[in-house]
Amino acid sequence: MSLHLGDIAPDFSADTTQGPINFHEWINNSWVLLFSHPADFTPVCTTELGKTALLAGDFAKRGVKAIAISVDDLESHNKWVPDIEEVNSVKVNFPIIADPEKKVALLYDMIHPNASEKATVRSVFIIGPDKKIKLTLTYPASTGRNFTEILRVIDSLQLTANYQVATPADWKNGEDVIITPAVSNEDAVTKFPKGFTTIKPYLRKTPQPNL
Ligand code: BEZ
């Protein structure tokens, strides 16, 4: 099933390294990073899951819960976690979904048969507290994800959820943002008291409003 931005993230029940979950209940009112990895006991995945654990504080600060998944079973996940912890000198503090029957992988279109018939690609879903999909990314098995980009896009999503702004190319937290075209110049004066610069009538920049 192909999922689109704005869709409700499909619900499921599954076993994880932190016990059984119902996904929608587990989301509760948080932002969520759901990401798949091709297989346990593989090198790139070991670095990615370690990196996610190392960034626990950065995710918590943003109200984001991380959850990983592969089509390996729970026994395999539980055997692999100590390796991740040893290699990355960190405790794995987020659940890893066991999906040996590929139920969740198929629900989220994480298996791309022309890449691999058996394993998931590196899918990323960022899901909002409203349980809607806000962002999808797909990486091949051979490329580890850029977690700086994942945090950057979460910052953008959270900002644009709260203010009538968008973020420009290569924007980073703290930099000026773009006032969306739906806001008139008149309204912009009151909505953006820090002021704004008009580069083109359709391109107006303002300091980041939540700082
Ligand atoms: C890895 O995580 O290192 C990996 C997994 C599957 C294919 C290639 C690399």
The string of pLDDT tens digits covering residues 81-139 is 999 999 999 999 999 999 999 999 999 999 999 999 999 999 999 999 999 999 999 99
Within the chain, which residue ranges are assigned CATH 3.40.30.10? 13-146
**56: Cα within 13 Å, side-chain hemisphere:** 10
**Is 141 touching ligand 1 by the criterion CB < 6 Å?**
yes
Average pLDDT value for residue range 205-209: 98
Q: Which of 142, 143, 145 to mutate to test the pocket of ligand 1 (most atoms within 8 A of CB)?
A: 142
Whole-model pTM over 0.75: yes
Instruction: Give the span between the Cα atoms of 128 and 135, in whole angstroms.
Output: 9
CB atoms within 10 A of CB 185: 11
Within the chain, which residue ranges are assigned CATH 3.30.1020.10? 163-206
pLDDT at 1: 61
Task: Quickly name the fold that domain 13-146 has.
Answer: Glutaredoxin (3.40.30)
Q: Helix or strand or coil: residue 47? A: helix
For ligand 1, the distance from its centroid to the CA atom of residue 5, given in whole angstroms, is 27
Average pLDDT value for residue range 12-30: 98
According to CATH, what is the number of the domain 163-206? 3.30.1020.10
pLDDT at 75 over 80: yes
Is 45 a catalytic site residue? yes
For ligand 1, the distance from its centroid to the CA atom of residue 115, given in whole angstroms, is 12
